[in-house]
Structure 1
């Protein structure tokens, strides 16, 4: 929601009158100097939208404000030309509406178009979110990173490294909406004050690492050479429900130089619907973008969300730091998932992260059954993963 600065207004006053943390207002307006607002300048107020109200017989501004439990001055801010002594029946009044409900839902088939639409809605309502395009998919779809918070500790989450594990993106986005609601409304989630993390942690999120593959699974092959090649790899079948790879048949979570040669020797040696690690490490733009992101951000910890198995992999070649065990024990406690230290699988993003930086990295396998997991599991998976999201902030 936008307001126009009046003489004497300050960001502190907006924080007070709208009951939104000052830091969130400052971060929503990076080009605005908090010390020197100019009359007529636009200021964004996070967590609010604007509704239209039609004046009825007997209405007064004071009555409208009282009925909505808002300050009357917020009405003057949004209606600078209003004459409170000369309201006209049918006149439109702009009224601030505090958003206290989810504006998006992850519980649906979650393709790239859905993600893009939901991201734009969140950016509009919560302009303190910082976004960066970290790269592009094979087909040129943008790979976006969101950042929330101002802390020195960078904590990373990502989803949909594998195409038919798209429900991980849906779960992440569902939680992000709840997280943002708790920030702007100064609420708790499971008893934890979310705003208390804002100055301690910077949350880095890449919701969908493989958008081309996700769209292939959910929407079928695209027109043109990429779709034709995917059909060839899939032996002519238009059932792509088992497809894990990116659009050109490379498994993005087998692309990292952490015993990549071991995986290459025992996995398919040509593009496939799953498991082909590429002809060498880091050939795919999606995998390269994620590697560069880890180097640029220097994550304090990393969580890569996959499906399925209700387990958490947390070790690599005895290179993980001792505190990784403490963290995964908490993840297990709050989710019921089983921690597994080592597994005979390499070349993953988590493996490479631990190998290079010796910091805690986790592959979280959500849900149970066969991929792609059905949406009938969504609510259960969300409740199980909620504790992991929260614990990653405080552990």
Structure 2
């Protein structure tokens, strides 16, 4: 929601009259110098939207403000050209509305189009979200990173490294919306005040690493050469439910130089619906973008979300730091998931991250069953994972 600056207004006043944290207001308006607002300058108010209302007989601004649980001055801020003493029946005004309910519904087939729609809604409501396109998929879809917060501790989450694990994106987006609501409305999550996280933590989120693959699993092969190639790799079958790879048949989570040669020797040697690590490490644009992101951001810890198994993998060759064990046991406590330090599988994003930086990395396997997990598990998975999201910020 946008308002126009008046003589004598300050961001501190807006934060108080709309009851939103000043830090969120400042970060929602990065081009504005807080100490020198200019009259008629546009200011974005996070966590609010407006709707149109037609003046009825007997209406006054006082009555309208009271009926809509807003202040008279908030109403005036949103309608600078309206003269309150000269309201005309049929005249249209804007009424501010605090957003208290989520706009993201993760409990649905969650393809790239659904993700893009939800991201656009969140950008509009929460302009303190910083967004960056970190690369393009094989088919040219934007690989989007979101950043939230301004703290020195940089924590990374990602989902849908594997195409038929798209429910991980839906879970991340559901929690993200809950977190944004808690920040703007000063509410707790599981009894924990989240506002300190904003100044302590910078969240880096790539909600969908493999958008081409996710769309292939959910919507079938696209027209043209990419779809034809995928059908050939899939032996002509239009059932792509078992497809883990990107559109080129490369498993993006087997693309990283952490015992890559060992994995390549025992995995498919040509493009496949799953497990083909490529002809060499870091050949695919999606895996390259994620590697470059880690190098650019200096993450304190990473949490790639996968399915399935209700386990958390947290080690690589003993290179993980001692704090990694303390963190994973907190993840296990709040989720009920089993921590597993070592497993005979390599070349993953988590493995490479631990190898290069010796910092905590966790592959979190949500849910149980056969991928793609059914949406009937969505609510259970979400409840199991909320504590992990929170703990990744406070640990």
1:125-169: CA deviation from partner (whole Å, max 9, x where unpaired): 100000011111111111010000000010000000000000000
Give the number of equivalent residue pairs.
Answer: 395
| In 1: Cα distance, 2:197 partner to 2:73 partner | 31
Q: Which residue does the alignment assign to 1:25? A: 25
Deviation of 1:96 after TM superposition, in Å, equals 0.3
- Partner residue of 1:342? 342
Q: Report the CA distance between 1:190 and its aligned residue.
A: 0.4
Matching of residues 1-395 of structure 1 within 5 Å = 1-395=1-395
Q: What do residues 248-270 of structure 1 show as CA deviations (whole Å, max 9, x unaligned)?
A: 00000000000001100000000
Secondary structure in 1 aligned to 2:108? coil
CA–CA distance in structure 2, aligned partners of residues 20 and 381 of structure 1: 31
Paired with 1:274 and 1:14, the residues of 2 have a C-alpha distance of 52
Shift of 1:63: 1.1
**1:69 Cα shift?**
2.0
For 1:319 and 1:33, how far apart are their aligned partners in 2? Answer: 45
Paired residue secondary structure (2:51): strand
Cα deviation code 1:41-70 (max 9, x no counterpart): 111000000011222222211111112221
| SS of 1:199 mapped into structure 2 | helix
**Which range moved further: 57-66 or 167-176?**
57-66
The superposition leaves residues 106-141 of structure 1 with CA deviations (integer Å, 9 ceiling, x where unpaired) of 110000011111111100110000001111111111
| Matches of 1:104 and 1:161, distance apart in 2 | 21
**1:88: Cα distance to partner?**
1.9
State how far apart, in whole Å, the 1-side matches of 2:340 and 2:169 are: 23
Q: Secondary structure at the match of 1:235?
A: coil
Query: Which segments of 5 or more consecutive residues in structure 1 lack a partner in the other structure?
Result: none
> 2: distance between equivalents of 1:229 and 1:253?
21
Q: Could you tell which deviates more after superposition, 68-77 or 142-151?
A: 68-77
Give 3-state SS (helix, strand or coil) of 1:203's partner: strand
Report the CA distance between 1:90 and its aligned residue: 2.1
SS in 2 for 1:156: strand
* CA distance, structure 1, for counterparts of residue 229 and residue 91 of structure 2: 59
- Per-residue CA deviations over 1:177-233 (Å, capped at 9, x if unaligned) read 000000001110001111111000000000000000000000101111111110000
Alpha-carbon separation, structure 1, partners of 2:195 and 2:131: 20
How far apart are the structure 2 equivalents of 1:322 and 1:189?
A: 28
Residues 225-246 of structure 1: per-residue CA shift (max 9 Å, x gap): 1111100000000000000000
Determine helix, strand or coil for the equivalent of 2:199: coil
Normalised by the length of structure 1, the TM-score is 0.99
Moved more, 50-59 or 199-208: 50-59
Which region of structure 1 is more displaced relative to structure 2, 278-287 or 51-60?
A: 51-60
Where 1:382 maps in the other structure, the secondary structure is helix
